[in-house]
């Protein structure tokens, strides 16, 4: 049972409050500051109802001292109507709320109950943030290769910095995972980590998503909305696929980085926030700058700390670790009894090039475990796409022998992977994009670039 300490120099007030609360809470009483401090020490009450006027010490001084010893304790001030102004001052010092004499019984019960609910919610949020932080501890990020160890080293060095970071790498390599590791190992870890996939938001809505809007700013803007920058105040904002933003939106982000302020859409008030910005891309931003589709000045602003995550094919020594990790994860989720992977299946997976990187590997293990009845994943349980390995290896030899240019081989590889994904998804582009770990817009762009005939595919 939760407990309440009532501190009031009037006997009638103390007893009245005890009668109101005793059926729901364990109630302790104190007539002055000295007894208040003693009861707090003896019983550690969940809520304190504290009179603002006490015979031996001013109620505000008592509040300050209690809050110094336990900042999380709930204190509700008791006041007469003429001292309401003082009660408001008490709230600035950390009081949760105040009640006035004579008491409204229902209001009093509601305030006490609501204060405990609020504290429980705050504790849950704090617990979840701590648990989230543990899950993104460096020891829990899979990767023992030399390349990944270098990345961990950089992340540790910059975690407490305010500098922007640009994380580069192919789709599915774990760019968001690294951004979360930066945040949850920094001094901002108690504040929000907010993400937005720039490719997933239509151009007409992206500015509102980032900076918010005022009521009536545009059609359907029926109320004020806070943008991601405001929500991320004192924390971290992660902009994934920043290369998908228009030049106009890039200019607004640049302004924020230069001035640390912005305006909501349709608003004139300048808003200042403290946000650490981390961005990511799977595009070559230097090439985009040359083509005029990405601002050079923004590039230098976001690229203060560059981090390049290698594709899985360049750190194959991490593949067995990742396989073991995902087997444990999905074995528990599916209530199976899968203990590992056969030697033959592992050898084939080590040879595979993993165009979808870690995301593709995770999806594969999840699918196999859902379908298997074996104790160890077998070679024949791997998908047919693995039969393309000889062709991929042959293409690699053709490049090294000078028979095929690197660009030609790259295009051929992308074409084969996209066609395979389309076949697997029954030519539904949105599903194919999901398999590849890219947006549908990027998939369509690549199909057009590679001359994959649109008329052959079903549009969704």
What is the per-residue pLDDT across 219-228, written as a single tens digit (0 to 9) for each?
A: 777 788 888 9
d(CA 367, CA 333): 12
Least confident range of 2-16, 131-145, 286-300, 310-324: 131-145
Q: Does domain 383-460 correspond to CATH entry 3.40.50.720?
A: no
Residues in a beta bridge with 168:
281, 308
DSSP E strand boundaries for 276-416:
276-281, 305-308, 340-341, 376-377
Residues in a beta bridge with 196:
239
424 is written with which tokens?
Answer: 């697997």
Q: Give the model confidence (pLDDT) of 347-378 as tens digits.
A: 889 988 888 899 889 989 998 998 888 999 99
What is the average per-residue pLDDT within 220-243?
A: 90
Q: Which tops the pLDDT comparison, 313 or 88?
A: 313
pLDDT at position 75 over 90 = yes
Calculate the dihedral angle through the C-alpha atoms of 16, 21, 27, 30, rounding to the nearest 10 degrees: -30
Q: Give the model confidence (pLDDT) of 333-351 as tens digits.
A: 888 889 999 998 998 899 8
Calculate the dihedral angle through the C-alpha atoms of 239, 244, 248, 253, rounding to the nearest 10 degrees: 20
Task: Give percent above pLDDT 70 in the chain.
Answer: 88
User: Three-state SS for 76?
Assistant: strand
pLDDT at residue 457 in the model: 42
CATH of 3-127, one of 3.90.550.10, 3.90.1170.40, 3.40.50.2300, 3.40.50.1370: 3.40.50.2300
What is the average per-residue pLDDT within 154-158?
A: 92
pLDDT at residue 343 in the model: 92
pLDDT at residue 102 in the model: 83
Which superfamily does CATH assign the domain made up of 138-310 to? Answer: P-loop containing nucleotide triphosphate hydrolases (3.40.50.300)
So where are the chain's domains?
3-127, 138-310, 383-460
pLDDT at residue 131 in the model: 53
pLDDT at residue 456 in the model: 46
- Say if residue 102 is preceded by a cis peptide, omega within 30 of 0: yes
pLDDT at position 54 over 80 = yes
Band of pLDDT at residue 82, cut at 50, 70 and 90: low
Q: Give the model confidence (pLDDT) of 378-397 as tens digits.
A: 988 887 666 555 555 556 66
d(CA 186, CA 274): 14
- Residue 33, judged by CB atoms within 10 A of its CB (0-12, 13-18, 19+), counts as buried
What is the average per-residue pLDDT within 284-296?
A: 95
309 is written with which tokens?
Answer: 């995550």
pLDDT at position 129 over 80 = no
Band of pLDDT at residue 460, cut at 50, 70 and 90: very low
pLDDT at residue 458 in the model: 39
pLDDT at residue 437 in the model: 85
Q: What is the pTM of this model?
A: 0.61
pLDDT at position 218 over 60 = yes
Q: Tell me the pairing of strands 261-263 and 270-272.
A: antiparallel
d(CA 7, CA 29): 6
Band of pLDDT at residue 311, cut at 50, 70 and 90: very high
| Mean pLDDT computed over every residue of the chain | 85
Task: Give percent above pLDDT 90 in the chain.
Answer: 40
8 Å CB contact between 99 and 108 = yes
Q: Which tops the pLDDT comparison, 154 or 458?
A: 154
Band of pLDDT at residue 21, cut at 50, 70 and 90: very high
- Please indicate whether the domains covering 138-310 and 383-460 agree at the CATH topology level: no
8 Å CB contact between 279 and 242 = yes
pLDDT at residue 214 in the model: 87
What is the average per-residue pLDDT within 217-246?
A: 89
- The angle, 0 to 180 degrees and rounded to 10, between the axes of the packed helices 175-184 and 146-158 is 40
d(CA 370, CA 329): 12
């Amino acid at each position: 049972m939760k407990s309440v300490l009532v501190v009031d120099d009037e006997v009638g007030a103390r007893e009245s409050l005890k009668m109101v609360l005793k059926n729901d809470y364990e109630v302790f009483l104190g007539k002055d500051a000295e007894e208040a401090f003693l009861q707090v020490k003896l019983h550690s009450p969940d809520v304190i109802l504290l009179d603002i006027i006490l015979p031996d010490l001013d109620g505000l001084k008592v509040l300050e001292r209690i809050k110094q010893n336990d900042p999380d304790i709930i204190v509700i001030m008791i006041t007469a109507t003429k001292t309401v102004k003082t009660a408001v001052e008490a709230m600035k010092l950390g009081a949760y709320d105040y009640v006035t004499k004579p008491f409204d019984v229902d209001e009093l019960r509601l305030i006490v109950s609501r204060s405990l609910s609020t504290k429980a919610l705050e504790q849950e949020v704090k617990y979840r943030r701590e648990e989230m932080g543990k899950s993104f501890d460096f020891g829990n990020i899979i990767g023992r290769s030399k390349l990944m160890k270098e990345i961990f080293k950089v992340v540790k060095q910059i975690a407490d910095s305010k500098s922007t970071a640009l994380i580069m790498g192919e789709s599915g390599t774990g760019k968001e995972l690294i951004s979360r590791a930066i945040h949850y190992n920094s001094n901002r870890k108690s504040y929000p980590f907010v993400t937005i996939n720039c490719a997933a938001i239509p151009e007409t809505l992206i500015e509102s998503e980032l900076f918010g809007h005022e009521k009536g700013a545009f059609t359907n803007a029926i109320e004020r909305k806070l943008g991601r920058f405001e929500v991320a105040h004192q924390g971290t904002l992660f902009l994934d696929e920043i290369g998908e933003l228009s030049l106009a939106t890039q200019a607004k982000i640049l302004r924020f980085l230069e001035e640390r302020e912005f305006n909501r859409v349709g608003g004139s008030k300048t808003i200042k926030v403290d946000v650490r910005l981390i961005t990511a891309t799977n595009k070559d931003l230097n090439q985009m700058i040359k083509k005029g589709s990405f601002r050079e000045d923004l590039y230098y602003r976001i690229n203060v700390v560059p981090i390049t995550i290698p594709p899985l094919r360049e750190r194959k020594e991490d593949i067995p670790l990742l396989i073991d990790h995902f087997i444990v994860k999905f074995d528990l989720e599916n209530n199976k009894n899968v203990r590992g992977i056969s030697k033959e299946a592992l050898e084939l997976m080590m040879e595979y090039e993993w165009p979808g990187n870690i995301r593709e590997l995770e999806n594969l293990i999840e699918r196999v475990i859902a379908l298997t009845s074996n104790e160890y994943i077998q070679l024949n349980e791997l998908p047919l796409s693995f039969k393309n390995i000889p062709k991929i290896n042959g293409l690699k030899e053709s490049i090294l022998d000078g028979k095929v240019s690197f660009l030609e081989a790259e295009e051929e590889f992308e074409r084969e992977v996209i066609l395979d994904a389309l076949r697997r998804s029954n030519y539904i582009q949105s599903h194919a994009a999901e398999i590849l770990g890219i947006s549908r817009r990027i998939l369509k762009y690549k199909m057009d670039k590679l001359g994959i005939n649109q008329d052959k595919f079903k549009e969704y």
